Amino acid sequence: MAKPTQRDEDLLALLRVNARESVAALARKLGLSRSTVQDRLRRLEESGVILGYDVRLAEDKRPGVSALVLLEAEQRTIARTIKALCEIPEVETVYTVSGRFDLAVVAAAHTTGDLDMVLDHIVGVEGVKRAESSVILATKLDRR
């Protein structure tokens, strides 16, 4: 698919606010027909622009504690390192980043003790040279 149009971007913005909004309500807000919105949604899904519709849990319903873990990794094995990190169930997100570190990982666990074990597991992954972690205290904004 070509780059999303402005109408597609407007539709995506509405879905970011409420992915459960009905097609009829989306069409009304966009000034388009219901069938046009359905076609746009189908096209955006088939082309991989929309990968899915997620449930975002309230902060008090998520696992008890999360951490941001910055990792310096061996470049020659970074693909294997990323694969191993992705196989850890408590790892929620893995980003490649620029700067002093190579990877940024978000991990979550029910207790600080559990998180400590997860962090030990992350640091023990082959290819991890150095790690720096910070416990996430609160989410102030999440537009995902």
pLDDT tens digits, 31-84: 999 999 999 999 999 999 999 887 777 766 766 899 999 999 999 999 999 999
Where in the chain is CATH 3.30.70.920? 63-136
**H and E: helices and strands count for the chain:** 5, 4
77, 129 contact by CB (below 8 A): no
Residue 20: how many other CB atoms lie within 10 Å: 8
Where in the chain is CATH 1.10.10.10? 6-46
33, 27 contact by CB (below 8 A): yes
**CATH of the domain spanning 63-136:** 3.30.70.920
CATH of 6-46, one of 1.10.260.40, 3.40.50.12780, 1.10.10.10, 1.20.1600.10: 1.10.10.10
The 10s digit of each residue's pLDDT in 6-25 is 999 999 999 988 889 999 99
